[in-house]
Amino acid sequence: MSFFERLKTAASAEWRAYTEHPFTNAMADGSLPEAAFRHYLVQDYLFLIEFARAYALAVYKSPTLADMREAAAGISAILDVEMDLHIKLCAGWRLSPADLEHAPPAVEMLAYTRYVLDAGMRGDLLSLKVALAPCVIGYAEIATRLAAHPHANASTNPYRVWIAEYAGAPYQEVAAKARAHLEALADRYATPAREAELIAIFREATRLEADFWEMGWRVR
């Protein structure tokens, strides 16, 4: 069993609560209220800003030049590509850049991003990447599941663009590379003595990701 699969198995209850949250299921069948999705989009924009900070921390925590380059590529992808795509997606939901930049951060967004940064500050690069894994890798798994829903790609489903973006080949490749890098780090730095600590980080990060969905789900 791979390192990531061991993490998922150890946190199976939290992983199911996150990847099968009612918010995601409602996106698949198109029944999610617009207000819930708009709230999520705003907070996800703020999340991306903090996500870039986490990758900047990954550069600092990187023990090798190759690791530094991998983290730097992540920063560029977020700041130069993903945030622009997110702004375009938000425009389709009548959310302007000013709406995004001036929105107050939700407690759930702050809780998760602060946890990730704290895990990285206290630990090494592997600890940080374990904390990031539920988001980076989890979104690919969630979108793949949602894309298989019979109504996911229907023209009447307002969430089909979001599903297609994360289920599409470009993002799936991003997630696959993140998983491969996580496995490589685990091969270097994950010892049996550390595994319980790393599982605890993964479990908490996954729980906080589920809270992020719940934040949007409550706005109905």
DSSP string spanning the chain? --HHHHHHHHTHHHHHHHHT-HHHHHHHHT-S-HHHHHHHHHHHHHHHHHHHHHHHHHHHH-SSHHHHHHHHHHHHIIIIIIHHHHHHHHHTTT--HHHHHTSPPPHHHHHHHHHHHHHHHHS-HHHHHHHHHHHHHHHHHHHHHHHTSTTTT-TT-TTHHHHHHHHSHHHHHHHHHHHHHHHHHHHHH--HHHHHHHHHHHHHHHHHHHHHHHHHHT--
The number of angstroms, rounded, from the C-alpha of 220 to the middle of its chain's C-alpha atoms is: 22
The catalytically annotated residue of 82, 141, 204, 209 is 209
Cα separations (Å) of 35 from 10, 39, 87, 101, 170? 34, 6, 17, 18, 28
The answer to whether 135 is a known catalytic residue is yes
Q: Are 216 and 107 in contact (CB under 8 A)?
A: no
The catalytically annotated residue of 90, 135, 141, 204 is 135
* Catalytic residue positions, numbered: 135, 209
